[in-house]
Chains A and B, each alone.
Chain A
Amino acid sequence: MSDPDLSWIEQALTAARPQAIGALLRYFRNLDTAEEAFQEACLRALKHWRENGPPRDPAAWLIFVGRNVAIDTARRRGREEALPPDEVISDLDDAERALAERLDDTHYRDDILRLLFICCHPDLPATQQIALALRIVSGLSVSEIANAFLVSEAAMEQRITRAKRAVAQAGVPFEAPGAPERASRLGAVAAMIYLLFNEGYSSSHGEVPLRAPLCAEAIRLARLLLRLFPSEPEIMGLLALLLLQHARAAARFDADGQIVLLEEQDRSLWNRDQIAQALALIDKAMRHNRPAPYQVQAAIAALHARAARPQDTDWAQIDSLYAVLERMQPSPVVTLNRAVAVAKVRGAAAALEMIEPLAARLSGYFHFFGVKGAFLMQLGRAEEARNAFGRAISLAHTAAEAAHIRMHLDRLMKESRAEAGAAEKSS
């Protein structure tokens, strides 16, 4: 599909995919059947749409064609295999009648939510959840996903197959969810989208081109979710948070692939369009008066985005938002982040005091030692700072992380040499 004139078909197929597969899954109650039906419908769309132009409702077209194709296939196979029992293709009559009215909001919403939800089954490890969502909901190829996860295609194929099997065994929840069930599905899906984003975000320089699509895909899914549930402030918060973090993507690494800290980033590289969208969403979310973790994190990110220069950052407000987040979602990592704000407002000594109790729980956490080293350095405790940075390097996940800490160490080294030199001279 490299023909530029056909890129619109590709885009329409991608956009219609979650809805179409979601509906096909409701009809056939089997993920593989739904996927095959969708693939077949896409092949026909390529031919048909190219000749006749786009249908008014691409998703409805794909559902209708995919459904018929799958039924034909089942009938043909019927000679060898028994036809699926009637209840398996339960909604068929309903669908036939309603090609026009099929866009019933609740069905449409629940179809997509179900499709997303089965990808984040609690039995699946996070990496499998994300891989499954990328394959099934986003339609990325196995090799694209393998590239993004920096594993071989065979390994990824295996991971996805295993995840699909686990999902099939767990049984897909097909009954229309009640309000509490819907809310809990929504929470699980939001968490999976956030994981997906972080998977893409936590890359080092050389991996950026491979992993950036994960961030874009997470944003697309968050936006899809918000369109389904337009008055959920926490989904507004999630989308705002992702947009704000993604807006800084171009400034996060320098030309040599080194990490550039928030305060040292060239703010003219921040994507103002994404920031403006995020701020609009936070505004909307606040009206609901139902603060929750994504909204608070988005509000913190927004304070950074609003500051034209690093020194304009409202650290006191960031400190108090982290305090709110600590109460909502107590975690040593949140406290660690808060300490960075505390260091700005009340000094490194207060911040160091705040993180010392976390040492046992964060003993394997790169950022803990990076932050601790920075506080110690500010307090002039060079030897302890060196130790902390040494620990950080041993825990770094990426070359860029390690290089960043080494830069601190070099600075300490230079300072101590300068001091030693000064001491010699004065003696």
Chain B
Amino acid sequence: MLYAIFCYNDEDVVFSWTKEQDDAVMTKLSTVHQKLAKNGKLGPAVRLMPTTAATTVRKDQEPPLVLDGPFAETKEQLLGFYVVDCAQLEEAIEFARDLARVNPGGAYEIRPVRLYLPGSDMSERP
């Protein structure tokens, strides 16, 4: 089963990290990633810019309304996500626990994936 793991955290905190703090967390996270990656279970992973860079298109009206900012104002913001291939939910939760150990604060939301389209490989793009 494919799961998407959405990463929520307080962006005021995360984007106040110094480069050294940020690098330290990323290094620790990449060690955790390796556990899944070496078994070919880690799919695309994305880290997002802060919600101040977000634009929302509200399509509940015609024509749709373009708004600055994220879809929802929340205490913790969606800051990234993973796609992972896990035999059971328990394995995905275990991965989230491992991530949480090196990057505390906020929450991970685990959602089974209904449709997965790999698209083009964009890893070389800035």
Q: Which of B12-20, B28-36, B91-99, B114-122 touches A?
A: B12-20
- Choose among A8, A12, A272, A281 the residue that contacts B52 (Cβ–Cβ < 8 A): A281
Number of A interface residues, CB 8 Å? 26
Q: Is the CB of B18 within 8 A of A105?
A: no
Tell me, rounded to whole Å, the shortest Cβ–Cβ distance linking A336 to chain B: 32
Whether A15 sits at the interface, judged by CB under 8 Å, is yes
Q: Chain B, 83-123, contact with A by CB distance < 8 Å: what is the 0/1 string?
A: 00000000000000000000011000000000000000000
B18 and A276 within 8 A (CB): no
The answer on a CB contact under 8 Å between B16 and A220 is yes
B10 (CB) vs chain A CBs: closest residue: A15
B97 to chain A, nearest CB (A): 16
Contacts A216-B18, A284-B55 given: A272-B75 contact, CB under 8 Å? no
**CB atoms of B49 and A11 under 8 A apart:** no
Within residues 30 to 88 of chain A, which ones have a CB less than 8 A from any CB in chain B? 54, 56-57
Could you tell me if A277 and B50 are in contact, using CB atoms closer than 8 angstroms? Answer: yes
Contact between chains at A227 and B51 (CB < 8 Å):
yes
0/1 string, B23-63, CB within 8 A of A gives 1:
00000000000000000000000000111110100000000
A227 touches B13 (CB 8 A): no
Cβ-defined contact, A287 with B66, below 8 A: yes
- Is A380 an interface position by the 8 A CB rule? no
Closest to B18 in A: A216
- The answer to whether B104 touches A8 (Cβ under 8 A) is yes
Partner of B68, one of A11, A223, A284: A284
Q: How far is the CB of B4 from chain A (nearest CB, A)?
A: 23
Per-position 1/0 for A274-305, Cβ under 8 A of B: 00110011001001000000000000000000
Whole-angstrom distance between the alpha carbons of A163 and B49 in the complex?
36
Indicate which residue in A15, A105, A239, A280 contacts B12 across the interface (CB closer than 8 Å).
Answer: A15
Q: Are B69 and A12 in contact (CB under 8 A)?
A: no
Interface residue A231 (Cβ < 8 Å from any Cβ of B)? yes
| Interface members, chain A 227-248 (any B CB < 8 Å) | 227, 230-231, 236, 239
The answer to the question of B67 belonging to the interface, with a C-beta cut-off of 8 Å to chain A, is yes
Docked Cα-Cα span, A334 to B50, in Å, equals 31
The smallest C-beta distance from B126 to any residue of chain A, in angstroms, reads 6
- Are the C-beta atoms of A272 and B126 separated by less than 8 Å? yes
- List B contacts of A227 (CB < 8 A): 51-52, 69
Q: Quick one: which of B15, B73, B104 contacts A223, CB cutoff 8 A?
A: B15
Identity of the chain B residue whose Cβ is nearest the Cβ of A230 in the assembled complex: B69
- Assembled-state Cα–Cα distance A236/B75 (Å): 21
Does A224 touch B at the CB level, under 8 Å? yes
- A 189-232 to B, binary, CB cutoff 8 A, 1 in contact else 0: 00000000000000000000000000010001001101100110
Instruction: Tell me whether A127 is interfacial, beta carbon within 8 Å.
Output: no
B49 near A276 with CB under 8 A, answer yes
Is there contact, CB below 8 Å, between B16 and A14? yes
Determine the main DSSP class of A at the interface with B: helix
Residues of chain B lying within 8 A (CB to CB) of residue A105: 73
CB neighbours (8 Å) of B66 from chain A are: 287
- The docked-state distance in angstroms from the alpha carbon of A223 to that of B105 is 20
Candidates B16, B53, B67, B126; contact of A231 at CB < 8 Å: B67
Write the chain A residue with the least CB distance to B66: A287
Q: Known A57-B75, A230-B52; judge A8-B69 contact (CB<8 A).
A: no
For B12, the closest partner residue in chain A by CB is: A15
* Interface mask (A292-320 → B, CB under 8 Å = 1, otherwise 0): 00000000000000000000000000000
Are the CB atoms of A15 and B75 closer together than 8 Å?
no
Give A230 to B16 CA distance when docked, in angstroms.
19
Question: Chain B contacts of A12 at CB under 8 A?
Answer: 10, 13, 105
Q: Please name the residue on chain A nearest to B52 by beta carbon.
A: A226
Q: Which residue of B lies closest to A108 (CB)?
A: B73
Complex formed: what's the CA distance from A281 to B50 in Å?
A: 11
Q: Which residue of A is nearest B53, CB measured?
A: A280
Chain B residues with CB under 8 Å of A280's CB are 49, 53
- In the docked arrangement, what's the CA distance between A118 and B104, Å? 35
Given contacts A15-B13, A220-B15, contact A276 B75 (CB under 8 A): no
For the complex formed, measure the closest distance between the CB of B63 and the CB atoms of chain A, giving whole angstroms: 15
Question: Roughly how many angstroms separate A98 CA and B18 CA in the complex, as a whole number?
Answer: 35
Q: How far does the alpha carbon of A402 sit from the alpha carbon of B53 in the complex, in Å?
A: 39
CB closest chain-B residue, reference A212: B18
Residues of B within 8 A of A8 (CB): 13, 104-105
Interchain CB contact under 8 A, A15 and B69? no
Assembly CA distance A216 to B69 (angstroms): 22
B73 to chain A: which residues have CB within 8 Å? 105
Contact residues, A72-125 vs B (CB, 8 A): 105
Q: Is the CB of B68 within 8 A of A230?
A: yes
Whether the Cβ atoms of A239 and B10 lie closer than 8 Å is: no
Q: How far is the CA of A346 from the CA of B105 in the complex (A)?
A: 55
Query: B110 CB to closest chain A CB, in angstroms?
Result: 20
A421 to B67, CA, bound (A): 68
Asked if A11 and B16 sit within 8 Å, CB to CB, the answer is: yes
Q: What are 11 sample pairs from A and B whose C-beta atoms fall under 8 A apart?
A: A8-B13, A56-B75, A216-B18, A220-B15, A227-B51, A227-B69, A230-B68, A277-B53, A280-B49, A284-B55, A287-B66
